[in-house]
Structure formats: structure tokens, C-alpha cells
Structure 1
Amino acid sequence: MTRQTAIVIGSGIGGIACAMRLQSLGFDTRIVEQLDAPGGRAYVRRAEGFVFDMGPTVLTVPHFIEELFSLERDAAMLGLPDFPAAMLTQDRILSGNSGGPNTSRYLDIVPVLPFYRIYFDDGTFFDYDADPVNVRAQIAQLAPEDLEGYERFHEAARAIFQRGFLELGYTYFGSLGSMLGVVPDLLKLGAVQPLFSLISKYFKSDKMRQVFSFEPLLIGGNPLKVPAIYAMIHFVEKTWGVHFAMGGTGALVSAMLRKFEELGGTLQLNAKVERIEVEKRGRKRVATGVTLASREMIAADVVVSNGDYATTYLKLIDKAHRKINRDAVVKFRKQSMSLMVIYFGYQMRDGDPDLRHHNIILGPRYEELLTDIFERKILAEDFSQYLHIPTITDPSLAPPGHHAAYTLIPVPNTLGDVDWDVVGDRFADTVMQFLEDRGYIPNLAERLVYRSFVTPKYFEEVLGSYAGNGFGVEPRLTQTAFFRPHNRSEDITGLYLVGQGTQPGGGTPSVMMSAKMTAREIARDYAIDPKVVNGVPA
């Protein structure tokens, strides 16, 4: 019997996860990647003995990773039961090893505490973690008027997490009806109002409003606009912790590819897709494979794009084949903000400030800065940043006596008027000088041994993100659930999408969920029972 074939465009974490699942379903699966190494946004930059993850660095929900490393070859198995009760525990946060038994055969994942150190512009800070005693003690010190409000917020976030994540996390909203059925519950929970509005009901101080609303920025969302269902991120982290793959996120990518190849899949690098081939069959339009920039044509029964949603439709598919995802529809969707990311290596010194693995450094403005970035699309004089220093956890990522770091600054996407060729170097200098002048890394200029950076142009020109977006389609109410791009193409049979631009959204756990959603839709379309396979519930 001839095996069915699948092509996955792009080797981001979502693309690899989907390819692993398709290979386990029985497809002969090939990933085609346009870059010279895998990872997509999780590409790794190596320079002068330093190793830099260029993209995602925060891992949550480690049992999603365990599911992938538990897949079996040709077992037609979509994974372990969703959210097994045994995983609803904080034991792994405190155990020192976050990986399950199958994950641990491929890589080491360790917990990071605190999850984030959040610095305010006045120099005070908040260590954000899952310890309820520690959290309440810090609120009592920084904003005692918000202690009672925190208790009420905690219960509201728990209810949203229970319904929005544990119960609906893997729900694919392929029809309007599938969404309308859950709207009453979400309205009752207050989960459709803007997150910042919800937070402001419980907290009076600006500091606590920032602490409990900043997280959507890590998935491309504006806290002023994302629906309050994103309050569940607080409980996702509280329940399963924040983790780090030793060797960096690139080590996770390498481990996933090793597992994928053990399952029988193949990866082709330097393979830029020029076009998704579509054939008209009666009234249907059917994806039949891809053509590469090298003119190689690869036939396939299934095509899955892990590329940017807008780029997939606007550049890879002829508009004659797009009745739903027309140019105007695709361009009408709001894109997430972009990023400037500065990668740097510097010498350690005795007496350095007590920075953490993940540091959030907030500027003097919050709501106004968010509006500048997302709505006005202007590069303001002030900025906030996420300073990542993984060598605090894994010294092997830098030469002895050095730290490898990156600092990530949310900036407007390229639909604004910022000329990064003109302002890029100057802005990078300003950010680095800020870290030195404010005492985060004293005398940084004289200790610096390596620096490079990427701007929104990198996301647009190298990663192929429409308008240089950093996180795909912006997560806001009108682009959530059914209103978000669909994992199964409405236009073309046999074409599917996976990753941050589709359901459920951005962030490492969400793209892994997206991979499972997409694999389930393919299983249904190709008559593979997605409920029980080999006696194992999926």
C-alpha cells in the first residue's frame, strides 16, 4: 500500500511538532526549510564562542514537550491524553528537572526561578513566581492596597484558566457555531473584555497593573487590547512553571528533529518554497505539493505551512485559488508588533548586580508606550525591554568568565514609518547605554566583546513575516478563536496551517497545541480515527 505524503513548510517549533505528529500518523513527511539551519524564529546564532537563541526562550507546560517525545513511529498516535491529571502539579517546578521520562532521553529541561524579575522605572523590582507567600509579601511591600484585589484576581484568573485552557485549550473553532456555544461562559467570566480593563478592576497601583498584565507582550499581544481570557497565562505559569532547555531553545529544536528523523521523517535545508501547487478538480481546488526556488517540484498529498499566515496566502498561492483568504481579507488583519533584538556577550565581574535569567525592565510609561507601538506605530524615545541572560542557568553558552545575553525591545512593525537602516545602530547604542547608565550592567561598553542586532527588517526579509511582525496576527478579540486564521484552509483542500498565526495563537505552548489541532484535522480529513488509535485515547 502506498503511503500518503506530507510536506511541512518551515522548521519552526510548530512546524516540527506537526511533522512529528504526521509522521506518527503514518505519513511520509518532509520538512522544507528556507534557511541553512532549522528553528525558524528559534534559529541559533553562534559567534566568538557565544551561543544565542534568536527567538523564544521561555518554555512552559513541559508535558506538551513530553507528548512529542512519546510519539511512536507509524502508530497513528496523536499524543497522550490532553492535560493528564498527573501533570496538574507544581512538583516539577521544584524538582530541578522539568522533563518527563521520554523528554529526558533527548535533552535536559530545568525550572527557572523566579519566572521573571520585573524592574520598574524607579529601580524597585518584583520577583514573579508561583510561590503564593512570596507574591503576597511583595505586594504587601510595594502596593499593600492591592492585597485584597490580588485575592479576587487570583480566583478570576483561576476560573478563566479552568474554562479557557483546561477545558477549551484544544478546541478547534472551525465554524462560527463552535465559538458561539462558548461565548456565554466567557462573558460570565469577564474573559472577553480587554485584559488591562480586567486587571484594573482588581489592582489600584500602576506597578501591580503592569506586573499582572505584561505577559501577552511575550506572544505579541497589546495588554490594552487582548481579551481577558489571556489572564490564563498567569495560571499556566503558576501551574506548570517556567523552564529552560539546557543548551538553549536551539537544543530543543535539535532534539525534536532527532526524534522526527527517528520516526522516519526528513528535513531539507536551503529549500525556499516559491509556490504551493494547486490543481482544480471539478469545483474543488486541491494542494498537490510545492515548487522550490531551485525549481524542484515536490508532490504531496498534504501541505502544511508553518510560515507566516499572510505570506503563505499572499506570496505562495495564486489569488485565483483564494476565494476566502483574498488579498483584502489577509491585509485587513492586524499584525502584531515587531521587535529589535540585541545579542551581546560581555565579561563577568565580581560585584555585578543580581540580575536573573529572565528580566523585564519597564520604562517610565506603560499604556502610552503600548499605544505608540501598536496603534501609532512610532518609535518613542523611551522603551521597555526583556533582558535574557541564559548563562546564569547554563554557563556553557559563553566562553568561561563571560555572559551571553540578548535584550528584546517591542517596536512597531513595518507598517509604520521607521527607517531602520537609519535608526537601527543609534537605537541599539541607546539601549546598551541605558543598561550601563542605569546600573543593570555597569561599565558594559568596556566589557563588551560581541554585539549584533536584528530589526523588523529581519523578520520581514529573512523570516518572511508580513509587515515584519514578530508574532503573526495580533491576538485581540476580533482575531481570537474562530476569528483567527484557520488551521485548515477554507480555500484549498489538502492545505493546512500551523504555528503562531493560526489557532490558538503565539507562544511555545500554543504552537505545540496548534500542531496537535492541525494534526487532528488532517486525521479527520484522511479518515484516521483521532479519538482512539491502537487503544490509546488521543
Structure 2
Amino acid sequence: MTEDQGRRKAVVVGAGPGGLAAAMLLAGQGYEVQVYEKQPFIGGRSSRVELGDYRFDRGATFLMMPELLEELFEQVGRSVHDYVQMKELDPLYSLHFGDKVFSPSSKDHERTAEMIEELFPGNGEGYRRFLRDEKVKFERVMPLLRRPFGKLGDYMRRDVFRALPKLHANDTVYGRLSKYFTDERLRWAFTFQAKYLGMSAWECPGTFTILSYIEHRYGLLHPVGGINRVFEAMADVVREYGGQIHTGSPVRQVLTRNGRAEGLELANGEKVYADHVVINADFTSAVTSLFKPGTLRKYTPEAMQKKKYSCSTTMLYLGVDGSIDLPHHSIHFPADYRLNVDEITKYKRLSDDPSIYIHNPSVIDPTLAPPGKSALYVLMPTPNLDADIDWEREGEAVKEKLLSRLEQLPALHDLRSRIEQSMFYSPLDWERDLNVHKGATFNLAHNLGQMMYLRPHNQFEEMKGVWLVGGGTHPGSGLPTIFESARISVQLLQEEDQRLTNRRIPVPQTAGAGRP
């Protein structure tokens, strides 16, 4: 064991949200922590994009369940609010169905019910039933997302039996929402969140109706400076507790001996030994490239090819002259949303009439663009790289088509003439630049065969001393669940140390104090 004055050492592969959350928890609870990140920046899929004087979140833009972030920072004696200024959004977002616009209130449920009744007559009471039913489901499902499923016996606990009648795992998200709403557009308004998992609402297990409920219960927030500011705050806490974050430091492989990880070999040949290895890299990329061939028996390249993966996303980051008359979040649905989703997930082709999401944070956050200008982020869900799409050849045409789609919106009718900076990002770029397997932005799919015990375990069963965090392990993708993966894995790691040493890991005297 590598101990320095009673401190045990953990190395973290990848400075994405899960890796940084795990590093913060470990550093704040007495571990010597070293984080190695291949890119010259932190955040992974949720890193920052800088184009001239414009700044953008690369991936995640929805921040929900702030209580979870508060808990994580409190575990290491910090307050997230000392590091990040949060602004609550009201409305949550605007949903556009042709000329009809639905903008649900942030947490004012009665106002939203009245709005639904006005826009979609006869559906206000369905919304109230949705809130009542989903509250019960949420309270029963959440305990399953906050603990590991590393063995079959984990299904035999009381919380599973209590949640089982409410899981709706044999139904779909769309099927469940159809029980509350009669208007097809309103069903879409509460099912589009399945795309946070990279899945079709017509195939995604009905359990995940809790995603839209979480938005309505907790509201949505915007961190000033962007979502990436949260990860910068985590990195700050890691350093405050003596941890180090090495950017531009790719890992060549995990060092192993006798079925246990010993540390890392970096791309420059340096070897770093540690008691624990925490892997936050894309799961498929990690198991197929970070271990010597033949080391892993379950997660071979052949086995990973058989896994199901989420859809991908095509991105446009635009620095625009002038302000834009669009809310912070807006989603623009096609005439036939079901066809659009089927084209992405089933037929693996680009849609002639796609759905698009527009992030316009400059409407409330002046830090992301120069005065009087706007940092505009546009996302179009697309098939992953399993599709027969040559992005190097077709990328420019897709970009121009997306710009034309945007210019159909009154607020963006002259968009091309106002663009000062731009970057187009395709599924191929997700894979090539960030090692996202198949460009599957939302990682492994969340079908029943890849959930809970059937998802890669937090305590990696193929190699002792290896712990998984991020969207590729339990409980899954999306920032709240990624943070939970870090908390679960760190707890398991500490429990193993306590069993092996029969003593508690010492906590620095600064733990529990305010920010230095």
C-alpha cells in the first residue's frame, strides 16, 4: 500500500463531471488525489468552448436538483454557493409547436396547470395527476439511484420491493405520459427529456418519466459563467485540499498485477502508483484501450460492440452580434416528432424536419459574450456513428441546413449576417476529439438490459482497486446521476479501505471549515 503519513492515494482518469466530483470527495476526506486529463481543459463532455471573446458550455446546459450539488460540497466542508452564483429560470423553457408556445412555470404548478388548460383544453387535471403520481414514484426510485447494484442480492432489499410497483419498467415514457395527457403536443412536452438519456420516448423505460417531474419539482438553474463553472469549483476544492489536476496528461494504461490495479502509466512513460484507480473516461473507450489485451474477460472489444448506445448530437456554437429575443432554453419541435425520433434511433438517418434545442444564456448572463452580443448554442439530436453518414463529406451541408432551419425563426431571421464566431461539432468530432465511443453523447443506452445490476458496476468487477464514475456506470447519464455515481463509488472505496485497515481514514482538520 502506498501511504504517506497515513494518507492513501487515489488517481483519477478523466476530469469530467464524475471524475471531478469523485476527486473532490476523496481529497476533502483525506486522500492524496491526482487527476489525469488528456485534454488541455477540464469538464470532458461538459467542458467550456471558447471562440474569440465568446464562451459556451460544450454539452450539458440543464442544471437541476441543486440540493444534490449542495450535499456534495457540504460533504467536504464547503458551500457551492461560495464558488458559483446560481440563477433560477422562470419559465423553465419555451416549447414551440409551430405557432403554439408552451412555457411552463418554474415550480409554480398551479400556474402551469392553468396554462395547460388554456393551451390544451381538458389537460390541466392530467398535469395535477402527473405531479401526484410522479412524486410517489420519485420518492421510491431515488433510493435505488443512490446506492450500488453490484450483486444480484441488491435486488432483494426492501427499497426495491417498495419501488417495484411504481417503476413502470415494462411501459415506456410515452406510454406513461399518454395516461395523463390527450393532446399529442403536450405528451411531447413531457417526453422529450428521454433524449437526456439519448433514447426514444417510445422505447425508453417508463421509469424515466421522473426526468420531467424533477424539472417541475426542483426547477432549473443557470450558473453564471455556464455549467462548466460548477466543475471549475470542484477543481478549486480539490486543489484546496492538496489534490492535483494534470491537464494535457493522457493515460496510456492502467497498471495491474494479480488481478488488482496498482496505478497508471502515462503517455509520456511515467508510472504513477496508487491504492485506487477511479475511471471517469468514456466507459467503452476505457475498457478497450486502458487495459492490456486479455486483461478483461467480460468487457472485450467484441462484447462492447454488442452493447446498445445512445444517439448523438450535432452542435453549433455561434457568437452573434446583438441580442436575441429567445428565452434561456427553447425547444422547437418538428411537425412529426415521432418520425424525427424514429429517424434518429431506429432508421439511423438525418431528418428533413429535425427538432432543435437552442440555448441563449446571454439573455440572463452577460459574462459569456461581449457587451451587446450573444453566445448561442444549438443542438440537433442525430444518429450515432453506427449510421451510414459520412460526416467529413456531409458536415458542411448539415451545418447549412441547420442554419436555414434557425433562420425560419423570427428572432433569428438574419442570423447568418450576424455571426461573428462559429464552430460546428458533429458525432465524428465527439468521437475523434473526446474519445466518445460511436459519438454516443449520452453514453451507453438505458434500456432494461443496461440498467442497475446490468450496467457496469461502480466497483469494477473485472479488476480490484478500480472504481467507475460517470454516465457509463450505475446509475447512468445526466449530471444528477453522474454526481451520484461519484458518491456511490467513493463510499464503496472508503468502505473497502476501512475493512482492509480496520480504521477510519483520517480527515484533515480543515474539513468542515468554511472556504479558505
Which range, TM-score by smaller chain?
over 0.9
Alignment partner, residue 179 of structure 1: 155
Question: Deviations along 1:14-69, whole A, 9 cap, x unmatched?
Answer: 10000111112322110000001111112212122111111111111212222333
1:261 counterpart = 2:261: no
Counterpart of 1:179, as a letter, is Y
Alignment partner, residue 64 of structure 2: 60
Counterpart Cα distance in 1 of 2:256 and 2:286: 13
Counterpart Cα distance in 1 of 2:279 and 2:447: 23
Structure 2 unpaired stretches of 5+: none
1:273 counterpart = 2:244: no
Counterpart of 1:452, as a letter, is M
Matches of residues 175-254 of structure 1 in structure 2 within 5 Å?
Answer: 175-181=151-157, 184-192=161-169, 193-254=171-232
SS at 2:137 equivalent:
helix
Alignment partner, residue 92 of structure 1: none
Counterpart Cα distance in 1 of 2:506 and 2:355: 48
Counterpart Cα distance in 2 of 1:449 and 1:326: 46
TM-score (norm 2): 0.92
- Residues 190 and 198, structure 1, Cα contact 8 Å, conserved in 2: no
1:477 counterpart = 2:439: no
Alignment partner, residue 26 of structure 1: 30
Larger mean CA deviation between 492-501 and 218-227 belongs to 218-227
Counterpart of 1:264, as a letter, is G
Q: How far 1:508 sits from its partner (Å)?
A: 1.3
Question: Deviations along 1:255-282, whole A, 9 cap, x unmatched?
Answer: 11111100111011111111111112xx
Of 442, 452, 461, which residue of structure 1 is paired with 2:423?
452
Of 356, 361, 367, which residue of structure 2 is paired with 1:390?
361
Alignment partner, residue 118 of structure 1: 95
Q: How far 1:169 sits from its partner (Å)?
A: 3.1
SS at 1:526 equivalent:
helix
Alignment partner, residue 78 of structure 1: none
Counterpart of 1:217, as a letter, is K
Counterpart of 1:176, as a letter, is L
Q: How far 1:144 sits from its partner (Å)?
A: 1.2
TM-score (norm 1): 0.89
Alignment partner, residue 118 of structure 2: 141
Q: How far 1:286 sits from its partner (Å)?
A: 0.5
Q: 1:195 to 1:375 in 2, by over 3 A?
A: same
- Residues 524 and 530, structure 1, Cα contact 8 Å, conserved in 2: no
Q: How far 1:168 sits from its partner (Å)?
A: 2.9
Alignment partner, residue 340 of structure 1: 314
- Residues 160 and 191, structure 1, Cα contact 8 Å, conserved in 2: no
Counterpart Cα distance in 2 of 1:288 and 1:533: 22
SS at 2:498 equivalent:
coil
Counterpart of 2:307, as a letter, is R
Alignment partner, residue 83 of structure 1: none
SS at 1:128 equivalent:
coil
Q: Please tell me the root mean square deviation across aligned C-alpha atoms, in Å.
A: 2.2
Alignment partner, residue 51 of structure 1: 55
Structure 1 unpaired stretches of 5+: 74-100
Identity of aligned residues (%): 29
Larger mean CA deviation between 142-151 and 363-372 belongs to 142-151
Counterpart of 1:195, as a letter, is V
- Residues 15 and 35, structure 2, Cα contact 8 Å, conserved in 1: yes
SS at 1:145 equivalent:
coil
